[in-house]
A and B are shown apart, each in its own frame.
Chain A
């Protein structure tokens, strides 16, 4: 076994990277380019709505650069969690853009699409057979919640991507995928140690975030050999250090010593980090632990209503002093006047910026009077019309509310804009975040191969 080189140009498709870093990466003759395009981090809206997170324009610009490299160097390009949430619409839009670029630039290649959407009847069947287990929520799944989800996907492991590579795909566009899988798939296919490969992918998935100074929009290169791998940034102004690389193992997880993924976990309790030279770190002894039962992490998002908000500032010291009481009184007053039922038809939420908006009930500093407040008031209702009506009424009543001790009588709120309230559309929440037990890591991720032929004239 010799070496394999894996290039990650950027933390997320669309973030871009310095051209010089990417060129330096290509000069090192990588065997594969991997890019992660998605996350649940931006919240449940994107999966619920089936909408991309970063703009398509930025993603297309990145795809053009990576596809050019794929063609020039004849190495696989693998995109995971296409479009952000990885669900059908955004996966297919990514495919459409890839084909558009191929057609414009006269590229020919074998394109693989890997779907990650789940059929509700299939899931209900799994649910009935007790194959769906609690994960990080305390809420047991129900058939009703399966029905209410707008989209349900699961993070694929390395297996479907390996399968696409076995089918000799040049470009793999995968739906929702475990972030490190796009980097680990080819090394595992070539027989490299799966524990090290997954750990390598975990470090690479955010690009140069694992370097110093850290940056998402820059490249990171990994070189795997039989018993270890190295990582190095390609921008000479950055370096990989033991601490920067080990620190990235910390990122966005609750336990950096045991990282779970579809089909197993990696155990880092014996992992060694060694500084090879000023800019390169070598990692070894990360152990792959296969789980007895292969599980997939399901992600589902349901619509919970429609939102309309207003934004205003408050400077009046008497209002600020009794803001909590004023808000409660206004909520109660409008509940008596509106033709809708609070709770069933709508709910009102306030965010008091300057007081405790960011940390809410976790705010430790409660004995504090701000000199001004930013108020975001929201109405969430079962229809957009009701949300608009409630928010409109709410902000008018609050504007003129005759609170106790009031000295100014013109208006309680400094509105930021005209119009003063804004329709924000659908509200979603993650309602499925459970583990599905499966026997076959491939069966739920259909792979379709298309041979793109665009003759060069």
Chain B
């Protein structure tokens, strides 16, 4: 009953990327619809969690579940625009790592 799996274990792909120079988008892809539905219905991947993980204001976070791709998309504004002074990830390609440890009841 109390079994959990991490997203690192159950996701097929975890990626982050710029969506334009001012937004970051995190994509979680699952191996199959069953896993996707299970993760989706768990309700674990929500704005509160992302806000906590990324220290981002909850109102700035947008989460979209896209059934055809069996994937969940999380987007929020970048703290620093791509390439501006103090930015350290021009493509926004390495901001996905905190997703690995998210625990989903399984």
Q: Chain A residues in contact with chain B, CB under 8 A?
A: 40-45, 136-138, 242-243, 246-247, 249-257, 271, 273, 304-305, 347, 349, 351, 357-362, 364, 380, 427-430, 433
Contacts A40-B21, A243-B69, A255-B62 aside, 8 further interface pairs with beta carbons under 8 A come to: A43-B90, A45-B83, A137-B81, A249-B66, A250-B27, A254-B23, A271-B68, A364-B53
Q: Report chain B residues within 8 Å CB of A242.
A: 68
B56 touches which of A357, A362, A427 (Cβ 8 Å): A362
From A138, A273, A347, give the contact of B85 (CB < 8 A). Answer: A347
List chain B residues, Cβ under 8 A from A42: 83, 90-91
**1/0 per residue B37-53: CB within 8 Å of A?**
00000000000000001
Q: Is the CB of B55 within 8 A of A256?
A: no
Interface size class of B (residues with CB under 8 A): 35 or more
From A40, A247, A249, residue with most partner B Cβ within 10 Å: A247
User: Which A residues are CB-close (under 8 A) to B98?
Assistant: 359, 362, 364
CA distance A246 to B71 in the complex (A): 9
With A136-B20, A362-B54, A433-B22 in contact, do A250 and B85 touch (Cβ < 8 Å)?
A: no
Contact among B13, B22, B75, B94 for A137, CB-based, below 8 A: B22
A-B pairs with beta carbons under 8 Å apart, 21 shown: A40-B18, A41-B91, A43-B90, A136-B20, A137-B22, A243-B68, A247-B13, A250-B69, A250-B73, A254-B23, A254-B75, A255-B75, A256-B64, A256-B73, A257-B66, A304-B85, A357-B88, A359-B95, A359-B97, A362-B79, A433-B21
Distance in angstroms from A81 CB to nearest chain B CB is: 14
Q: Are B79 and A360 in contact (CB under 8 A)?
A: yes
Bound-state Cα–Cα, A243 to B88, Å: 31
Cross-chain contact B21 with A43 (CB below 8 angstroms)? yes
* Residues in B neighbouring A44, C-beta threshold 8 A: 21, 82-84
Q: In the bound complex, do residue A430 and residue B62 qualify as a contact, i.e. CB atoms below 8 Å apart?
A: no
Cβ-closest chain A residue relative to B12: A243
Please report the C-alpha to C-alpha distance between residue A384 and residue B54 in the assembled complex, in whole angstroms.
35
Give chain A residues whose Cβ lies under 8 Å from the Cβ of B54: 362, 364
Chain A residues in 8 Å Cβ range of B25: 252-254
Dominant secondary structure at the A interface: loop
A212 vs B75: C-alpha distance in the bound complex, in angstroms? 25
A64 to chain B minimum Cβ distance, whole angstroms, is 29
Q: In the complex, which residues of chain B have a beta carbon less than 8 angstroms from the beta carbon of A45?
A: 83
Q: Is the CB of A429 within 8 A of B86?
A: no
Judging by beta carbons under 8 Å apart, are A273 and B21 in contact? no
Contact A430/B53 with A249-B69, A250-B66, A358-B89 known, Cβ cut-off 8 Å: no
Cβ contact of B64, chosen from A255, A271, A358, cutoff 8 A? A255
A255: nearest residue on chain B (CB-CB)?
A: B64
In the assembled complex, the CB of A296 is this many whole angstroms from the nearest CB of chain B, namely 14
In the assembly, what is the distance between CA of A351 and CA of B89, in Å? Answer: 11
Minimum C-beta distance from A202 to chain B (A): 13
CB < 8 Å neighbour of A253 from B19, B22, B88: B19
- Candidates A43, A359, A361; contact of B83 at CB < 8 Å: A43
Given A250-B69, A252-B18, A360 and B85 touching (CB < 8 A)? no
Assembled-state Cα–Cα distance A136/B62 (Å): 14
**Docked pose: A252 CA to B25 CA in angstroms:** 7
